Structures are given as structure tokens and as C-alpha cells.
Chains A and B, each alone.
Chain A
Amino acid sequence: MNAEKQYIDFYKEVKDTIAERSSQEMNTCREAALHTFATQGFPLPKVERYRYAKVEADFSPDYGIALTPINGPLPPHCFRIAEATPYARTLYNKVADTSDSIVALNTMLSVDTLVVHVPKGTRVEHPIQINNTLKGEQDTMVCRRILIIMEELAQADVIITDRATSQSRFLTNQVVEVVMHDGSHLSLYETEETHLLCTRYSSVFVRQGRNSTFHHTNLTLFNGHTRNRLDVQLQGEGSEVTANGCVIADKMQRVDNNTLIDHQVPNCRSNELYKYVLDDNAVGAFAGKILVREGAQKTVSKETNANLCATRSARMYTQPMLEIYADDVKCSHGSTVGQMDDAALFYMRQRGIDEKEARLLLKAAFITEVIESIPLESLRDRLHVLVDKRLRGELSKCEGCKLCQ
């Protein structure tokens, strides 16, 4: 219980400071969150959804905790929670799984919430980019909270990027809540390019209304330890979700993606594609569950997880799950773990491409399927470049920052 204790003690100490800097709707949720966190503690690996995460070890180091509210000018449709509409404020902590202790820890310690609120029928022309740059000399923990509200027929692209520019240890605990009204459309992209000392816990909760479409892409290009959770509730008929992700990991990196797509009503579609390239001693985990509730007829769902292990010591845990309580559905899932195609390698070697380059091309081609599914062209192009750089080992040594030892 020691790891939990330092957070509880810290909270009790700075409770008043947090309350002062924060808003009322956030403060009202704190005590319940403290109770959840204190009674449950950090989830152990025997909790099914945390099977592959080492939560206690990740949260044990002594971090300074950042308690700064959001500052600086915000792009259109973005607000601090105190300045958001009363309706938006009522939605705070309503979509997130409040019984989860990692979420509870975030609720307890977050000082501010970034609200992205797109009004009815509005199409946001330019993508909204939320850049999180971690820098500082001290080991720091950051609790970040984002609430996205898409009103009826609204459309937007949101990009969340995580970067780290100094060589300290960072721990990010992010909670994103998304409320999508009927007919709205949201593409949410998350990219992570941090360094080996960074730990990221991200929980994204989405609630979708009728005929809404949600497109989520999660790219882990460089990290230390990462756990991403994505929970999507399809609550309106005709809604559709696409959840894609790719992971490139080497050295001692660890990436765990845990998704739940909950089909609550008939006639919804979901599509999931996750691809991992693991090198050196990297550990990858993917656990995706498709839940089709009773009565959710005509559900069409497809889940694919493909993994490439490039070394002996790389490990992959994969768990694509289907839980189905309705009969008129089409659900499938597939999962593979394997190596590079020898025939393809041979083909390239024959044509004078050296082995290293050939392997690199194959890895890049493997990942391409995920990148190509991104509707935003400029981002797609940028990501192709980033992936290529990453595979060549250049991303971890780019100029201007000391990302990697």
C-alpha cells in the first residue's frame, strides 16, 4: 500500500490548493474519487484488465506532481472548464469509469480540464491540436483531463500529441471523456513520442449517439511504459467506431493497449486494427474485447491484431475477446504473431537491397495499413515520415532534445 499512500498523503496535504485553483464541478468529484482510490489501491495483475500492466511499479517512484492550470491562448472551440458552457460542465466525470482507481487518481489530482465543445452543425475546418510537451529538471507526474463534446451533426479532428524534451522521468495520467451526439463525427488521433523514462497511462471513454462516427488512432512511436485504455459505448443505433493503433517498440519499452467496444443497441459497426512491431526486449500487450449486448442485433464487428516480433527476447501477449449475447450478428476477430516473410526478404535481397534495408521496408509496410486508414492527409504524410525515421532509429536522436541515452 506504500505506493498508494504517497498519493493519498499528497492529496490531503494540497487539497485546499487544488480546490482553490480548480473549478467547482471538479472539486465535487474529488472525495468520492479519493474513496475509490483508497479502498481499491492500484490494480494488481490479477485484475483482468490490468493483467499486463505493472501499475504499482509504474506509480511507485517519487514524482513531483504538477498542479498548474491550463494557461495561454486556446484555439477556437476549446475552453478551460471554468469558462465552458454550463451544459459542458455537467458532463464532467460522467462518461469515465469512476470505479477504476487510475481514473480516480486522476479525478483526485487534476486541477483543470480542457473542454473541446463543438456546437450543433459546426464543422471545424482545421484539426484541433493539443500538444503536451513534458519538460523540466524534476521527475514529474502530470494529471491531464480532457472533455470533448460533439453536438448534433458537429464534425472535428482532434490530435493529441505527447512529447518529452528533457531527460527527467515523467508520468502522465490522462483521462479523456468524449460525448458524441446524434450524427456527429470525430476523429481523434493520439501520438506518443517520448523517451524511455516516460510512463503514460491514458484512459479514453467515449459515448456515441445515433449515426455518429468515431475514428480513433493511437500511435506509440517512442515511449517508456505505456498503457492505453479505450472504452467505447455505442448507445445510438447506426453508430460506427473505428479504433486503430500501431506500436513500434524496442529496447525495454512496454506498450499495453486495452480496448472495450460495447455494442448496446442494434445496427452498429465496429472495426479494430492494431499492429505491433517489437524489437530488442520490448513487451507488447493487446487485449481487446467486443461486447455485444442482448438485443444488439445486426451488429457487424471486426477485430484484428497482428504482431511482428523481430528478436527472441521481444514478448507479445495478445487477447482478442468476443462476448456476444445476440444471435443476428457478424463478429470476427483474428490475431497473429509471426516474423518477417522470408520470401519477401529474399525477393528484395535478390534485387540488391541489403538485408537491413529490406527488413526496414517490411516493417514499414507492415505498419502502413494503420497509417493509411487515417483520413487526414497531412497527418498521414507526416506519420509516414515519422515511422520511417523511427524505424531507422533517428527519431530517438533527433536534434534539439536529448531523448535517448
Chain B
Amino acid sequence: MTDDNSFVREVAEKKYEYGFTTDVQTDIIEKGLTEDIVRLISQKKGEPEWLLEFRLKAFRYWLTIEQPTWGHLKMPHIDYQDISYYADPTKSKNKEPGEIDPELMKTFDKLGIPLEERMALAGTAVDAVMDSVSVKTTFREKLQEKGIIFCSFSEAVREHPQLVRQYLGSVVPYKDNYFAALNSAVFSDGSFVYIPKGVRCPMELSTYFRINARGTGQFERTLIVCDDDAYVSYLEGCTAPMRDENQLHAAIVEIIVNERAEVKYSTVQNWYPGDSEGKGGVLNLVTKRGHLRGANSKLSWTQVETGSAITWKYPSCILTGDNSQAEFYSVAVTNNHQQADTGTKMIHLGKNTRSTIISKGISAGKSQNTYRGLVRVAKDAEGARNYSSCDSLLLGSQCGAHTFPYMDIHNDTAVVEHEATTSKISEDQLFYCNQRGINTEEAVSLIVNGYAKEVINKLPMEFAVEAQKLLGVSLEGSVG
């Protein structure tokens, strides 16, 4: 037992590895949210009139609605007037155009993000976003040869306004929900991806988000359009410094998948989760949605959620195209005082559409982990098929695991299955490992990794390794 305790102490004291701040001159606008601020953000980014109109409409709508409370979460009060909505770390004074502050380079090097083409072997194109601004997007030229557009959102607005205008808000309208309205009003940077017809994107595209400045929130916006017969795999990673205040992250991700196209979207979310007393941490309130417009299209969401004080998001799929397929694979880990209410929505509209939901929740410490999912089969969605499986693993007697699945079936040809289990690691499994000379903590790590394997296997290789490490850091301290 003494061994166990020393191990617990050791890991419990393990620091959040990415909790450093970067000392870089940052241009932060004053706190508060008014129509003038919305205009100022738009002006700073030199946006066209139509986009400002879009922001203002969203802002005026946001003023009329209230923050929802239905989540199974204890949400700290968010003072929307106490947040700065725009922080630009690239605004150094004596800088050549196009040059990146060496401090910023160091930050991303520290995080292990290959910003330079010297990392070509890593085979990943990266868009790095710090606070409100995209710092650098790599491999743009190489991608351009194939006609792929991969750039920051602001650049896309400047260079491809017709595309942005056509798709912006078409999957997540600004009236969708409270946080979507907020994001639509104040969104800063993010990534824009366009894969033209018949092109298979030769490398993984990736965006790395980091919140650095104090007292700010991050409101990025990602838009991915995958045209007929195209394919793209997109990765997203996030970290933030350790601060004792809650920082708000309210993003929108919109994905449009046309005929026979395929999009794979993977997230490894590792925002700062707050300290062991539940102080600080990022509030991760994100709207992610994909629209499978074309027949035979495919969209797959994979998420590994280990960070954030509060995670409240439901990456969803609208299956409009006939024979379209959607997948949702999720591992959500909560420890200490973290709270997660996450899951997915599968809206079947087209014929012979199918969706798979695999969700694995792991709760430890005093955390609360909730799966909430909706499967809706519309009246005309003949032959729809859904399989959902949600398992929860409880480590410790003070945490909670909850499952709230909703199934609305309006068609008799639908076959919908849902199953869920909640349990702790079985004594038998532990005993079996112990018997074979594997000590308890290693055994737990082995079992947890095996439990999450089904989801982690869906991640691209580099991410899978990172995710596995994260699982270890987030969890092993809670074995008891």
C-alpha cells in the first residue's frame, strides 16, 4: 500500500507540461463586449462590409438570448464584459513583414509544433494560432500546386471571399446557440481548408491553438469544405498556460462534405484543466458540426479530451446525402475537479445513412463525466442505421459518470441500437496482471489504454502517440 501511495503522490504532483507563458509583446484590445468592440475587431482585421454585417447580426441576436443551463455542469459565472476579445501577439514593432517573432518560434518549438519546412519529414502542414491570430501556416505552396487552399481564416476572407461567404454559417448558423452567436460576433482567427474536386490531400493538415495572453478568450473559427471525391484528414491540438482564472474558449467548426468526399477530423484537446483544487482552467464551449451534403460522403470525428476545466461540446453530423456515413469516436478523461458534458448528435435525413458512436468516458478524482447524445432518424430517412456504445470507467469513489442518450425515431425502417455500461476496473483483471508480475499502477495503465484503444486507433499515428501519453499523465495519479 505504501508503494501505491508514493506513486499516487508522485503523479499527482506532476505539473501540466504546457503551462508556461510566452513573453511576447501582445496587442490586446480593452476588455468588454459592445457593438464598438465588434466593429473594432472587424476593422483590425480589415474585413469587408458583409462580414461586419454578419458579426453585427450575430451580436444583436446574442444580446437577446441567455446562457443555457441544461448541461450537467457546475458552470462558474462568466462575465462577458471582463474578457478581452482580441489579442494579437504578432504585432512587434520592429519587424520585417512576414517575419515571426523569435519568442513565438520558441513557444511553438517547445510545444513540438513543426513550424518550419525543415520538419518536412513530419509530413504535416500546420496552421498555428496563438490567441486571436494565426502565426504561420506551413506548406502552403506545396498544397497550392494541387489546388488545395489551407490558410488562416483572415487570409481566406481576403483572398477567397466568395468561398468564405458561400459557406460561413451554412452549417452552424449564428442563431444556433448562445456560444455560436457569441463566436459569430467576435471570432478572430482559425483555419480555412478547401479541397477541390477529386483531390486527395497528400498530407495531414493540422491546426495548433494556444491561448497565451491573460484575461483573454479564444474564439476561433474553422471552416472545412471538401468537394466531390476529395479527401482530407485534419488534426487539431490545443494548450494553454496555467492561470488561476477561467479562460473562455468558444469556437465553431463547420465542415461541408460533398459527394463521395471524406473528411477525418481529429482533436486532441489538452487545454489547461485547472489545478487539483479546481481553480482556473479553460472553459471549452465549442460548437462543431459537419454537414454530409453529398451522397456516399463520409465524416469521422475522433476526439481525445483530457484537458479543460469544463468541456461542453457535441461534435455533430447532419447526414443529408443518401448512403452517407458518420462516425464519432471519443475518449473523455476527467480528473480532479474537471467536468465534461460531451457527446454527439447524429441527424439522419438521407436514405441508407449510417452512423456509429463509440464513446469512452474515464472519470477520476472528484470529476464529473457525462455522455449526452442524440440520434434522430427523420421520417424520410429510409434504412437508417445507428450503433451507439458508451462505456464509462470510474476510478475513485467521489467521481461521477453519467449517460444521457436521446433517440428520436420517426421511421420504421430504422435500426438503432444503444448500449452503455458503467463499471470500475475489475478486480479480476487487476489480479490477473498482478499474478503475472505487473504492479498495480502499470496494470491500471494497461487496462485503461486497452479500454481506450478502440478510439485511439482511429487517430493518425503521431497523434495517437501523444494521446496515449496524455492519458497516462491525466490518469495514473488517481489509482487508489
Q: Is the CB of B407 within 8 A of A317?
A: yes
In the docked arrangement, what's the CA distance between A314 and B402, Å?
Answer: 29
Q: Is the CB of B402 within 8 A of A321?
A: yes
List the A side residues contacting B398 at CB < 8 Å: 294, 325
- A337-B414, A338-B415 known; A316+B423 contact, CB < 8 A: no
Q: Which segment, of B25-33, B169-177, B239-247, B389-397, faces chain A?
A: B389-397
In the docked arrangement, what's the CA distance between A83 and B421, Å?
Answer: 48
List the A side residues contacting B392 at CB < 8 Å: 322, 324
List the B side residues contacting A327 at CB < 8 Å: 394-397, 399, 424
Q: Is A17 an interface residue (CB 8 A)?
A: no
In the docked arrangement, what's the CA distance between A347 and B407, Å?
Answer: 31
Q: Is A312 an interface residue (CB 8 A)?
A: yes
Q: Is the CB of A322 within 8 A of B402?
A: yes
User: What's the least CB distance linking B444 to chain A, in Å?
Assistant: 13
- A309-B414, A311-B412, A328-B397 known; A334+B419 contact, CB < 8 A: yes
Taking chain B's interface residues, is the majority helix, strand, or loop, or is none over half, making it mixed? strand
Report the count of interface residues on B (CB-CB < 8 A): 35
List the A side residues contacting B412 at CB < 8 Å: 309-314, 339
> For residue B421, which residue of chain A has the nearest CB?
A332
Q: Is B405 an interface residue (CB 8 A)?
A: yes
What is the count of residue pairs linking A and B with beta-carbon distances less than 8 angstroms? 120
- A325-B400, A326-B397, A327-B395 known; A336+B416 contact, CB < 8 A: yes
List the A side residues contacting B420 at CB < 8 Å: 320, 322, 332-334
Q: Is A297 an interface residue (CB 8 A)?
A: yes
In the docked arrangement, what's the CA distance between A307 and B410, Å?
Answer: 12
- Which of B379, B394, B407, B417 lies in contact with A312, CB distance below 8 A? B379
Q: Is the CB of A331 within 8 A of B395?
A: no
Q: Is the CB of B414 within 8 A of A322?
A: no
Q: Is the CB of B409 within 8 A of A309?
A: yes
Q: Is the CB of A317 within 8 A of B423?
A: no
List the B side residues contacting A318 at CB < 8 Å: 405-407, 409, 418
User: What's the least CB distance linking B350 to chain A, in Å?
Assistant: 16
> For residue A314, which residue of chain B has the nearest CB?
B412
Interface residues of A in 252-297 (CB under 8 A from B): 294-295, 297
Q: Is the CB of A324 within 8 A of B419?
A: no
**Most chain A C-beta atoms within 10 Å of own C-beta, residue among B396, B402, B413:** B402
> For residue B427, which residue of chain A has the nearest CB?
A328
Q: Is B251 an interface residue (CB 8 A)?
A: no
List the A side residues contacting B395 at CB < 8 Å: 327
User: What's the least CB distance linking B421 to chain A, in Å?
Assistant: 4
- A312-B379, A324-B392 known; A337+B423 contact, CB < 8 A: no
List the A side residues contacting B407 at CB < 8 Å: 316-319, 335, 337
Interface residues of B in 88-117 (CB under 8 A from A): none
List the A side residues contacting B404 at CB < 8 Å: 319, 321, 323
- Which of A311, A323, A324, A334 lies in contact with B418, CB distance below 8 A? A334
Q: Is B295 an interface residue (CB 8 A)?
A: no
Q: Is the CB of A339 within 8 A of B394?
A: no
In the docked arrangement, what's the CA distance between A331 and B422, Å?
Answer: 5
> For residue A320, which residue of chain B has the nearest CB?
B405
* Contact mask for chain A residues 354-381; partner B; CB cutoff 8 A; 1 contact, 0 none: 0000000000000000000000000000
Interface contacts beyond A322-B420, A337-B415: sample of 7 additional A-B pairs, CB < 8 Å, sorted by A:
A314-B412, A315-B410, A318-B409, A334-B418, A334-B419, A337-B414, A339-B415
